[in-house]
């Protein structure tokens, strides 16, 4: 599904005590909605050659402590945002992060994949341009505009949160400090 991921309805996927009702669909142990759960995403990609979302998820939290939210997978082959780390974050978020940070020891298998996959090839089409606050990087095939940095979480901006190496600034998709 493009731009959405559905959660299962069983107790293993949704603990009523920690459940986020806004992510619960019909028949879940959290709520009795009438439509499947979805995870909202942002920014359409310039190319869509995958059955996975070609968009950067708005949120990247996952796991039991986060109400049973699962990682959706994004980009070519669903490589990005596919694993739920022990800290409850989906990743890897970009092509410079080691997938073992998310998919290795402590990975929460019930809320995403816990596997090792080959990094996808970078998009081949001419990248688009993203402005401040917009999504960037290999998932959407967009570079940040002049003077902007592409953060490890795939957003364009300025300052250490976007441009610092400690925050996984992506030099192929924008400026970095």
Q: What's the pLDDT score for residue 75?
A: 87
Residues 20 and 80 in one domain: yes
Query: Could you give the number of structural domains in the chain?
Result: 2
8 A C-beta contact, residue 118 and residue 103: no
Residues 101 and 77 in one domain: yes
Mind listing the pLDDT tens digit for each residue in 58-101? 778 999 999 999 999 998 889 999 999 999 999 999 989 999 99
The DSSP code for 43 is: S
Half-sphere exposure of 42 (CA within 13 A, CB side): 12
Identity of the highest mean pLDDT range in 38-42, 72-76, 105-109, 165-169: 105-109
Looking at the whole model, is its pTM more than 0.75? no
Q: What's the pLDDT score for residue 126?
A: 94
Residues 75 and 132 in one domain: no
Residues 20 and 72 in one domain: yes
Residues 117 and 71 in one domain: yes
Domain final position from 105, 121, 137: 121
Residues 90 and 53 in one domain: yes
Q: What's the pLDDT score for residue 2?
A: 34
Residues 7 and 83 in one domain: yes
Q: What's the pLDDT score for residue 81?
A: 94
Mind listing the pLDDT tens digit for each residue in 103-126? 999 999 999 999 999 998 888 899
Residues 32 and 105 in one domain: yes
Residues 6 and 53 in one domain: yes
Residue 133 has pLDDT above 90, yes or no: yes
Residues 36 and 13 in one domain: yes
As a whole number of angstroms, the distance between CA 20 and CA 129 comes to 35
Domain that holds residue 132: 128-167
- For residue 172, being part of any structural domain is answered with no
């Amino acid at each position: 599904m493009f731009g959405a991921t559905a959660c299962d309805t069983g107790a293993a996927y949704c603990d009523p005590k920690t459940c986020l009702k806004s992510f619960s669909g019909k028949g879940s142990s959290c709520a009795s909605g009438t439509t499947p759960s979805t995870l909202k995403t942002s920014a359409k990609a310039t190319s869509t050659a995958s059955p996975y979302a070609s968009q950067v998820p708005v949120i990247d939290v996952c796991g039991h402590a986060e109400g049973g939210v699962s990682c959706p997978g994004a980009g070519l082959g669903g490589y990005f945002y596919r694993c739920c780390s022990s800290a409850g974050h989906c990743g890897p978020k970009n092509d410079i992060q080691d997938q073992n940070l998310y998919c290795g020891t402590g990975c929460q298998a019930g809320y995403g994949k816990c596997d090792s996959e080959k990094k996808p090839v970078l998009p081949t089409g001419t990248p688009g341009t993203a402005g401040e606050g917009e999504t960037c990087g290999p998932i959407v095939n967009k570079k940040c505009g002049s003077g902007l940095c592409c953060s490890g979480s795939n957003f364009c901006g300025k300052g250490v949160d976007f441009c610092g190496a400690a925050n996984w600034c992506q030099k192929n998709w924008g400026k970095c400090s």
